[in-house]
Amino acid sequence: MTYSFPCQDLSLAGLGKGMSKGDNTRSGLLWEVERLLDECNGNLPQILLMENVPQVIGKKNIKDFQEWRKKLEQLGYSNYVELLNSKDYKIPQNRNRCFMVSILGDYYYEFPKKQKLELRLKDMLETNVDEKYYLSQKAIDGFVAHNIKQDENGWHMKFEPYERERESSNTICSRNPTGATDNYIYDP
């Protein structure tokens, strides 16, 4: 069984409400997985695979995560946790995620070894892109104004388009796709 839960209350871009049991946060949906496993009446899945943002094991959330691991151990699972970045597995995107593999019984598991990145961002991009996917000058001017406001307020989320030659892209944001921190490519 694979599972995850909303990261908005865990991620750096979110409000940091956490994932405590009974707090009714979006990230607290983790505890619905507990309910599902309890309802299996002992007929549990052999393997569980969890994926989420690295902050799921961060300082603010580690206590809740440890509570979750303890629950899985009580059910008979052996748990293996690792932070993996897609760029370390031949994908030209800087996307760091926390994975937990839980195996029912006394088993040993090793996460895959890192692999050299051979492709670059430009290898993944289309060469002929419809004009509708290019930013208008008005949009660019808006982002430039946004950068000025960010500087004035000491904030760090700026519009900084990537060169096509860049090795990898950052994680794509799940919020409004017109944000200044999304993955824009500069194509002169």
CATH number of residue 18's parent domain: 3.40.50.150
Per-residue pLDDT, 76: 96
Q: Are residues 100 and 130 in the same domain?
A: no
Statement: the pTM of the whole predicted model exceeds 0.85: no
Q: How many domains does the chain have?
A: 2
Phi (first) and psi of residue 41, to 5 degrees: 50, 45
Does the structure show a pLDDT above 60 at 96? yes
Least confident of 53-62, 138-147, 162-171: 162-171
Residue 16 in any domain: the answer is yes
Q: Is residue 154 part of a domain?
A: yes
Q: Mean per-residue pLDDT for 84-94?
A: 92
- Under the phi-then-psi rule, with left for phi > 0, alpha for psi from -120 to 50, and beta for the rest, what region is 9? alpha
Q: Report the C-alpha gap between 21 and 71 in whole angstroms.
A: 12
Instruction: State how far the Cα of 33 lies from the Cα of 135, in Å rounded to an integer.
Output: 41
- Annotated catalytic, 173? no
pLDDT band for 173, please (50, 70, 90 cuts).
low
Cα separation, 114 vs 95, whole angstroms: 14
137 with 173, same domain: the answer is yes
Domain of 140 in residue numbering reads as 121-186
Q: Which pair of structure tokens corresponds to residue 11?
A: 């991620």
Q: Does 110 map to a domain?
A: no
